[in-house]
């Protein structure tokens, strides 16, 4: 949609990641006039997490997107194997495998599907390839966004504006939200290789502890293995200097023989390389001047436990529960502000404990001292201790199902 005319919507959502697309889908379906803007023209231009836990699966299902019935590129991870460099340490089944385990789902395909579905609803407008540049104000309150699409600038107005615009949120910046930055010591080099069937059973995720750092490798859709090589923050510059061939060889020297051989055979099939600068932070308040931030814009998650997408989806459900009844009537600024506060309070009960867990320093990145080495070598015995098993199960529960009960009620 082009032109300089002002358009008035009930809700304007900035960012069509999983959170924004989910909230837009619910609102449009419930008869709320909904605008969703996305700066990218194609979803594959934006790399994001693809791990869907049972909590995210249930959130999507409640909106009408049952991943197990949709024909999207997806791979379930049902079990894992841990290696200490070349030595096998433990094999385990995910405690939540009966709930589908960790589903690795193509985000571009999922988001395209969600948008296509929303477009079947009359009261949904999608601004594709449209960047929000700034906020519009009326009576000291944000009344919409100034946007740019195909070189043309125009205004989009709405009763309420939601910032689901990710970790580099324009709205967070322009409205000067205060941010608690939980300094991170890791970055991740992501890449994909064909799935090593000769070495790993289908649907197995691999963790490999290296001399310094480690690799987390979930089974990925399209018969690939997604390798996440965890490195010290800021060290990619040095790694890049030595060249891809040299760092792949170094990884090969420190991984199980089966994977090393597989990497050797598939060097020319390494794809989708991406360096993620890991971030973990949270705005001290999530709303200001009539704008509510949600998802990574309000609380950027790091990749630990594959939580980011799931948390964003659950933010969308809680926001819809509060906003749909209000927007179906004639909301006042006071009632919207109160709803924003309620949404933040409800979501903080989950986001805070998960971020507290994600904050824990990654000791494996530091030089391994004798105690760490002892713990690694004896991981198999240690994980058989009953109290350790209870702790692991509790943690797996939190990662798989979330902390609070989140249900779509509208």
Ligand X SMILES: Cc1cc2nc3c(=O)[nH]c(=O)nc-3n(C[C@H](O)[C@H](O)[C@H](O)COP(=O)(O)OP(=O)(O)OC[C@H]3O[C@@H](n4cnc5c(N)ncnc54)[C@H](O)[C@@H]3O)c2cc1C
Interaction of residue 28 with ligand X, rule CB under 6 A:
no
DSSP tag of 44? G
Interaction of residue 143 with ligand X, rule CB under 6 A:
no
Q: Which two tokens stand for residue 83?
A: 């290696």
Stretch that binds ligand X, among 39-47, 95-103, 205-213, 321-329 (CB under 6 A): 39-47
Interface pattern 281-300 for ligand X (x via CB under 6 A): --------------xx----
* CA torsion angle 176 182 187 191 (round to 10): -70
Nearer Cβ to ligand X, position 210 or 216?
Answer: 216
Element (H, E) at 354: helix 333-359
Interaction of residue 318 with ligand X, rule CB under 6 A:
no
Site for ligand X in 231-270 (CB under 6 A): none
Sole binder of ligand X in the list 81, 131, 262, 347 (CB under 6 A): 131
Sole binder of ligand X in the list 63, 170, 220, 339 (CB under 6 A): 170
Interaction of residue 312 with ligand X, rule CB under 6 A:
yes
Q: Please report how close the Cβ of residue 283 comes to ligand X at its closest, in angstroms.
A: 13
Sole binder of ligand X in the list 309, 317, 365, 400 (CB under 6 A): 309
Interaction of residue 301 with ligand X, rule CB under 6 A:
yes
Interaction of residue 47 with ligand X, rule CB under 6 A:
yes
Interaction of residue 16 with ligand X, rule CB under 6 A:
yes
Q: Please report how close the Cβ of residue 148 comes to ligand X at its closest, in angstroms.
A: 9
Contacts of 334 (CB under 8 A, 6+ apart): none
Q: Please report how close the Cβ of residue 80 comes to ligand X at its closest, in angstroms.
A: 16
Sole binder of ligand X in the list 303, 317, 354, 355 (CB under 6 A): 303
């Amino acid at each position: 949609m082009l032109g300089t005319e002002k358009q008035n919507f009930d809700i304007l959502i900035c960012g069509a990641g999983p959170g924004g697309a989910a909230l837009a889908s619910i609102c449009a379906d419930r008869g709320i006039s909904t605008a969703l803007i996305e700066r990218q023209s194609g979803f594959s231009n934006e790399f994001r997490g693809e791990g869907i836990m049972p909590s995210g699966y249930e959130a999507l299902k409640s909106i009408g997107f049952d991943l197990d019935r949709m024909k999207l590129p997806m791979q379930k991870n049902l079990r894992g194997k841990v290696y200490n460099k070349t030595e096998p340490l433990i094999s385990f089944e995910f405690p939540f495998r009966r709930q589908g385990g960790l589903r690795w789902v193509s985000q571009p395909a999922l988001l395209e599907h969600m948008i296509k579905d929303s477009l079947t609803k009359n009261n949904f407008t999608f601004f594709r390839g449209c960047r929000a540049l700034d906020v519009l104000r009326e009576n000291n309150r944000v009344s919409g966004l100034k946007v740019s699409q195909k070189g043309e600038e125009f205004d989009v107005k709405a009763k309420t504006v939601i910032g689901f615009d990710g970790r580099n949120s324009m709205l967070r910046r322009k409205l000067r939200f205060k941010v608690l930055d939980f300094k991170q010591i890791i970055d991740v080099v992501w890449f994909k290789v064909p799935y090593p069937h000769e070495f790993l059973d289908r649907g197995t995720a691999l963790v490999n502890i290296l001399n310094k750092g480690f690799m987390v490798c979930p089974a990925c859709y399209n018969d690939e293995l997604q390798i996440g090589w965890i490195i010290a923050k800021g060290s990619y510059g040095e790694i890049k200097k030595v060249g891809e061939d040299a760092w792949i060889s170094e990884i090969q020297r420190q991984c199980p023989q089966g994977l090393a051989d597989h990497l050797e055979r598939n060097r020319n099939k390494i794809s989708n390389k991406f360096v993620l600068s890991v971030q973990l932070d949270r705005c001290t308040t999530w709303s200001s001047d009539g704008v509510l931030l949600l998802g990574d814009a309000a609380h950027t998650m790091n990749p630990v436990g594959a939580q980011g997408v799931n948390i964003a989806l659950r933010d969308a459900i809680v926001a819809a529960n509060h906003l749909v009844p209000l927007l179906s009537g004639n909301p006042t600024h006071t009632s919207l502000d109160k709803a924003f506060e309620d949404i933040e309070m409800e979501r903080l009960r989950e986001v805070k404990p998960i971020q507290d867990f994600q904050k824990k320093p990654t000791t494996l990145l530091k030089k391994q001292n004798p105690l760490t080495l002892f713990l690694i070598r004896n991981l198999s015995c240690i994980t058989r201790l009953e109290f350790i098993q209870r702790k692991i199960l509790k943690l797996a529960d939190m990662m798989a199902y979330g902390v609070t009960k989140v249900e779509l009620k509208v």
